Structure 1
Amino acid sequence: MVYRKKNFILGQLENIEFVVILTRYQDKWVFCWHKKRKSYENPGGHVEKGETAMQAAKRELYEETGITDCEIIPLWDYEQPWDDGIHKNNGRFYLAIVGSLGELPDNEMEKIELFDSVPENFTYDREDAIIDLQMALNILNAWEKH
């Protein structure tokens, strides 16, 4: 059985353990190529002890893309069930609007690339990721209209 993530209103969940940063640069989505997994991912990762979710989002974005010139907007929270169907992790999605790309630090990511949508070779559930990008675009479009 596949346990799908469940989205929640921003701030509704406590104990945010993970962050995912949907990253937009020049009307394209930024994805990272993971060296070991040999697939594309959104920037993101664990919230470290003593760190806020926003601090983790800024750190992970830099570590995995080299990007520092951006505005980061919190979008929504999510709950990701484990494969055992009992345990779960809480996370938060962010949208980064990037002004300029930076130099990629030496870490688990080999490169970043720009796409119109979720690349075919995506580490996680591609169908969920496509929905996430559309939700983020809807929020961004609504924001820009005001």
Structure 2
Amino acid sequence: MLKVNFYRLNTIEDSKLLFAVVMSKYNGQWIYVKHKKRNTWEIPGGHREQNETIDSTASRELFEETGAKKFNLTPVCIYSVDSDETTDYTESFGQLFYSQVETLEKLPDFEINEIKLFDKIPDNLTYPLIQPFLHEKVLGYLKRV
């Protein structure tokens, strides 16, 4: 079984942050995306490229996966996914962001097939053991700010 762990910002070495995930709202609704190779919904985000800051990863992925042109980006926390089974799987780290998107333009022709706005987290998730925890973490963050 997978376990999602959360850490305060700047408590994990930056070079270990391999992913950026961006919980985003547009016109009061959550943005979820559908990859061309899958039939499920996921939070915009992806892998950090070589020589890229984690903030740049978040901005790039948000644009590539949603067409967001004008937005703010707020780091929320670091997260990791860990397996409690005895496998060769090692804990992997990412940074979770929140974004308020002001402008959505045409979806770029990358790996995302469709974006959709939701009032709450959709049922048909790509990563159902991970994404609900990230969504809840951002909801908690928004209650505090």
TM-score normalised according to structure 2 size: 0.89
User: Over aligned residue pairs, what C-alpha RMSD do you find?
Assistant: 1.6
Number of residue pairs aligned between Structure 1 and Structure 2: 141
Q: Using the TM superposition, give the Cα deviation of residue 85 of structure 1 relative to its aligned residue in structure 2, in angstroms.
A: 5.8
Counterpart of 2:56 in structure 1 is 55
The separation in 2 between residues aligned to 1:115 and 1:99, in whole angstroms, is 16
SS in 1 for 2:23: strand
Per-residue CA deviation, residues 82-138 of structure 1 (Å, 9 max, x unaligned), is 572651211100001111212100111111000011211110025x43343233123
Give, as a single letter, the amino acid of the residue that structure 2 aligns with 1:140.
L
The separation in 2 between residues aligned to 1:119 and 1:91, in whole angstroms, is 22
The separation in 1 between residues aligned to 2:90 and 2:136, in whole angstroms, is 28
The separation in 2 between residues aligned to 1:46 and 1:33, in whole angstroms, is 16
Give, as a single letter, the amino acid of the residue that structure 2 aligns with 1:135.
K
Distance 1:67-1:88 versus aligned 2 partners, 3 A rule: same
Counterpart of 1:105 in structure 2 is 108
Q: Which runs of 5+ in 2 are unaligned?
A: none
The separation in 1 between residues aligned to 2:2 and 2:131, in whole angstroms, is 15
Counterpart of 1:139 in structure 2 is 141
Per-residue CA deviation, residues 40-61 of structure 1 (Å, 9 max, x unaligned), is 1111011111000000000000
The separation in 1 between residues aligned to 2:79 and 2:137, in whole angstroms, is 13
For the Cα contact (< 8 Å) 1:117–1:130, is it kept in 2? Answer: no
Counterpart of 1:129 in structure 2 is 131
Counterpart of 2:11 in structure 1 is 12
SS in 2 for 1:80: strand
For the Cα contact (< 8 Å) 1:64–1:104, is it kept in 2? Answer: yes
For the Cα contact (< 8 Å) 1:117–1:133, is it kept in 2? Answer: no
Q: Using the TM superposition, give the Cα deviation of residue 25 of structure 1 relative to its aligned residue in structure 2, in angstroms.
A: 1.0
The separation in 1 between residues aligned to 2:46 and 2:131, in whole angstroms, is 16
Distance 1:86-1:124 versus aligned 2 partners, 3 A rule: closer
TM-score normalised according to structure 1 size: 0.89
SS in 2 for 1:62: helix
